[in-house]
Structure 1
């Protein structure tokens, strides 16, 4: 019989101290029982590596969470929500097999590592340009605003085919959609702005698809159109809806991954020195950040039918929090799991998910993050954290995102 540690006191995961550092509490949850019901969150908290993997593989656990998102919208904003949530229902991340597989296959070739690698030279060029413009040696600034946010935006816009003149509107809409999907919209006015932004983003991308059909370019939309699946295996409406997901996902995760990796290295001088001595270890630094303090803390699922998990019965309709931030520190899978080690190998982390819902944009996120980290470490040797004791984090159940990262370049 498995023996668990005593259960910790029930606490909301958005308590300010847990937003700042959730890991001690998550470790305690996993050690007490890797599957447990939380009355406070009205959800099952799944914190063990094997248990999270089981849920990511089991069709009894559904990724469809459009309805919970809609339920969170204030009553006064519901009249604006119908079209917006119709768009979200076409996002592949909110669909289960076989629908998910059909939608994902449209983008499979464009997101393959060999296709993404074509943007290596462009990413290197843009990284140095951003650092020259925003991170001059001897100056101080916010690495989030100066580098971590604009760099992925520039690479992703080029990859998706967004004309530079459209950039400000495009990224404004993305930020508002993030407020909706990540649950940071609170007031009715914020929900209205987010819902309208999603509609505006779909209108814009629909028009861009028409332009690329008439005038193909060297970009994602043109490539997918040329493959002939739009209008065949997926409708044009489904394609444009999925492009809104690509637009939303393109910058947020990578920005947080860059900032969290820089923070991890600059609070661990031995690991920073290792990457500086061997720049190819920037890849290991990014992977360790994805495991130990990645941009995603959890994903939300729903039990589509009753299932047994870790000695418990999850009932159909129950919410399930797959807490990858805890699973990635499970000592049953990762020796000395709290140690940040840029040379670590072994078990696969779940920073980008696993299986059918493994992040389709992982190769692009890795390309940009590794380039940014390697260049910062090697070409900004004077980079130092301005005030690491006073950092703050965005209050989000899903994301691990700094509000700012003040540095001296």
Structure 2
């Protein structure tokens, strides 16, 4: 008699237990079928490393998802949406080549590793200042609120040239924009606040660009203006729209990367001891977090035209979830993929994407995260998690973000 394995039961990825820990289910999806249509999510789930890579390289797979974001806005908030979604349409992450390449080139020099390295000393100084103020030895606190959020905010504000007095408004707008882009806004009032925040952020950055034309400083905006690309390869409106993306992307991703790395190390004593003995392994810890439990779980794409993938026909207009959180644990690519190993070498993880859409701010995010992790391990040796069994995560398809990380410093 022939027996058949039971069909895999698909789970809603925003169910509370999937938000808390999606990895067993994602592994099962990948092992069962690395490309599958999900009626539950109305999308193709791509979970295998090679299959995700093929999609990231294929021009038939489009990054334009402004329309789906707009479709999610409640009808009562649509009147506020037109200008906000015009801004989002200028974000490079929502554009395909050749427009994506044209927009990205504006920042190529400013984001190069050698340019980012200029901020090493400031980042180290900012890290120690944040720890001295918030992470007082013997004190209990929330590492997310005390360190993981304020440190990237300090560095990114300095890098963009945001005056300290403008910081509170600037970061409030960024938080609200994240609610919109990451899909955590639910109520109509939340959508209205997010849409207005994006408009306010654009107005603020537009005024700051005008100020930097007459009063240049040592910051990203001044550097790009000096290179002469604004008004040449991109319009000023496009440049300001791109700055809203830079402002949003840097802080959110880096905050989650810091917190997730600290959590990973402090739940694996052997790996923590290795970094403590050799602080330069903090870089390896950050890379393993990006692979194993990074700040991004997936990216959403759309089929621009019909394409074949693993024997399936993806039709033009179909949504595609590129589940990097599953691809980064693919045993065909990573030996012992569930093991967190700060000395791991070999295959490239997809924590910052790949190819044309590789995260342009990766070097800066790594600089800040490594500084935070290395300094915490070295200078707060008594740091412990106070309630690791009761951690909660933000409900989001896209990002992996703790609501808090209670610790004793």
TM-score interval for Structure 1 and Structure 2 normalised by the shorter chain: over 0.9
Matches within 5 A, 1:3-402: 7-402=7-402
CA–CA distance in 2 between the matches of 1:91 and 1:5? 45
Compute the displacement of 1:6 (Å): 5.5
Deviations 1:19-65 (A, max 9, x none): 00000000000000000000000000000000000000000000000
The change in CA–CA distance for 1:348 and 1:6 in structure 2 (over 3 A counts) is farther
CA–CA distance in 1 between the matches of 2:225 and 2:213? 7
- Report the TM-score, using the length of structure 2 for normalisation: 0.99
Consecutive unaligned residues of structure 1, counting only runs of 5 or more, are none
Compute the displacement of 1:7 (Å): 4.3
CA–CA distance in 2 between the matches of 1:171 and 1:395? 21
Compute the displacement of 1:377 (Å): 0.3
The change in CA–CA distance for 1:7 and 1:114 in structure 2 (over 3 A counts) is farther
CA–CA distance in 1 between the matches of 2:200 and 2:294? 30
CA–CA distance in 2 between the matches of 1:200 and 1:129? 30
The change in CA–CA distance for 1:308 and 1:196 in structure 2 (over 3 A counts) is same
Deviations 1:76-129 (A, max 9, x none): 000000000000000000000000000000000000000000000000000000
Compute the displacement of 1:10 (Å): 1.6
CA–CA distance in 2 between the matches of 1:6 and 1:314? 26
Deviations 1:176-226 (A, max 9, x none): 000000000000000000000000000000000000000000000000000
- Report the TM-score, using the length of structure 1 for normalisation: 0.99
CA–CA distance in 1 between the matches of 2:148 and 2:5? 39
Deviations 1:330-375 (A, max 9, x none): 0000000000000000000000000000000000000000000000
Q: Secondary structure at the match of 2:12?
A: coil
Q: Secondary structure at the match of 1:64?
A: coil
CA–CA distance in 2 between the matches of 1:178 and 1:360? 18
Consecutive unaligned residues of structure 2, counting only runs of 5 or more, are none
Equivalences, count: 406
Compute the displacement of 1:8 (Å): 2.0
Conserved 8 A contact 1:7-1:28 = no
Compute the displacement of 1:311 (Å): 1.1
Q: Secondary structure at the match of 2:109?
A: helix
CA–CA distance in 2 between the matches of 1:100 and 1:120? 29
CA–CA distance in 2 between the matches of 1:367 and 1:202? 27
Compute the displacement of 1:11 (Å): 1.1
CA–CA distance in 2 between the matches of 1:191 and 1:402? 22
The change in CA–CA distance for 1:297 and 1:6 in structure 2 (over 3 A counts) is farther
Compute the displacement of 1:282 (Å): 0.2
